[in-house]
Amino acid sequence: MGGGSVADPLAADSPRPRLRGRANPVLVLVLATLTAGLTGPGQTIGVSVFIDHFVDDLSLSRSQVSGAYMVGTLVGATMLPKVGRLVDRRGVRLAQIAIGLAFSLALVNMSLVNGLVWLAVGFTGIRLMGQGSLSMVSTMTVSIRFARRRGTALGIFATVSAGLMALVPVALNAAIGGVGWRWAWVVAAAVVATTVVPIAFFGLRSMPVSSAPTLAPPVRADPSGSADGNEASAGGDYDRSEAMRTRSFWILAAVSSTAGMLSTALNFHQIDLLGDAGLSDAAAAAMFIPQVIGSSVMGLLMGYMLDRFDSRFMPAASMLLLFVAHMLAAVVEPGATVFVYAVVLGAQGGAVRTVASTLLPNWFGTRHLGAIQGSLTLFGVGASALGPVALAVLQEVFGSYPPAIIVLSTIPVAAMVFSLFPDRNRRPL
């Protein structure tokens, strides 16, 4: 379409959104990545450091806390499609301001819980606002700003945000040691409120203030019969209902849900799982570090590959990594095996996050990205709530982790096979 005096390689091919200047891509990537890292208090990795305190101080069993976590996660997940539509209508800047404030209040609420029901309500708030909504809006910010190198940008985003998130349990542990677990939640709320909200208010001023624009990634041939680019068709971008009628959407849903379910299960039970394999609690906890290494390397590599090569087989490749991680988990032991297991488990996480966040806008456009991504996140977050319970039940049935893990390894195999069949009916953008 018509351009101004300055050529913009990211200009939209369809109606131009209202902008306040131009959004510096590097700045946007840095701010979105920091925002994603600050979702940590609402992620499993952050909540895990409070579990013992909930059990001891609230006189609850671990199964009760796990049940409350599952309920809170599932209830929160059901609201994500509405949040996605809000982001589409109001833009990422206003949405992040509202979500940042709501997440801060949800974290303060966690400092006040006094029983099982309140705990479930608290989990609903932090999972909806932190793991779900704030993660979604930060990912959308990168997807909207970048088009021609979207895969690379999202690879960097996934890699660095995962590294930042790995620091959250350390910071929360320090806060608990200094001021107690209840005030630690308040400290987390203060950090979110004084960081996430100003980032949106000042740092994202040049982002779209209306609906998300349809940007123009390069058109690349796709053997599945559609294009990864944005060569506009008569129908324009997909809306949510159109996207959900495609096989492509369900490929991404299958891959992201499987990864969310099974990686959460392995991480939730990591201390016990690796303890049974002969590692001390400290050594088992230290295995989160090689996970970050694997996630970082694979996130960058996958982003690079998505920008330059055929994307058709990338979802299947991420499921292959998850299957290999399960095979290693079934035979894990102290030494090189446990290190390789942790690296591969982290690598599949980096691969899935980058694949899903890159292919969603590439395949369906960005005008209705919030609504579509909200639905996709609903499945992923919901599955992550079921994973720890499924592994725990199977472990009780078989009496040990290895056979339970082998049974669950059939799920990524099924998702891998499903993703290999192309969607020839999806129209190109």
Between 231 and 279, name the one with better pLDDT. Answer: 279
* pLDDT(9) > 60: no
Domain 20-204: homologous superfamily in CATH: MFS general substrate transporter like domains (1.20.1250.20)
CB 217 within 8 A of CB 365: no
pLDDT, mean of residues 101-130: 95
From the CA atom positions of the chain, what is the Rg in Å? Answer: 21
In three-state secondary structure terms, 46 is helix
Query: What is the pLDDT, as a whole number, of residue 231?
Result: 32
Positions of CATH 1.20.1250.20 in the chain: 20-204, 236-422
Helices vs. strands in the chain: H and E counts, helices first:
19, 0
User: pLDDT per residue over 353-366, tens digit each?
Assistant: 889 888 988 888 88
Span 11-31, pLDDT tens digits: 333 344 444 445 688 899 999
The answer on pLDDT for 232 being more than 70 is no
| Long-range contacts of residues 266-275, Cβ cutoff 8 Å, at least 24 apart | 266/325, 266/329, 266/345, 266/391, 266/405, 267/44, 267/45, 267/345, 268/44, 268/48, 268/387, 268/388, 268/391, 269/388, 269/391, 269/392, 269/395, 269/401, 273/329, 273/332, 273/401, 274/332, 274/338
The residues near 352 (Cβ < 8 Å, ≥ 6 apart) are 255, 256, 259, 318, 322
Are 154 and 356 in contact by the 8 Å Cβ rule? The answer is: no
Helices (H), 199-226: none
By three-state DSSP, how is residue 137 classified?
Answer: helix
Please give the pLDDT value at position 114. Answer: 94
CB 265 within 8 A of CB 388: yes
- Dump pLDDT digits (tens) for 141-163: 988 888 778 888 888 888 888 88
Question: Mean pLDDT, to the nearest integer, of 249-277?
Answer: 89
- What is the rounded CA–CA span in Å between residue 299 and residue 296? 5
Q: What is the mean pLDDT of the chain?
A: 83
CATH of domain 236-422: 1.20.1250.20
Asked if the model's pLDDT at residue 106 lies above 70, the reply is yes
Q: Name residue, tokens 């996660």.
A: 73
pLDDT exceeds cutoff 70 at 192: yes
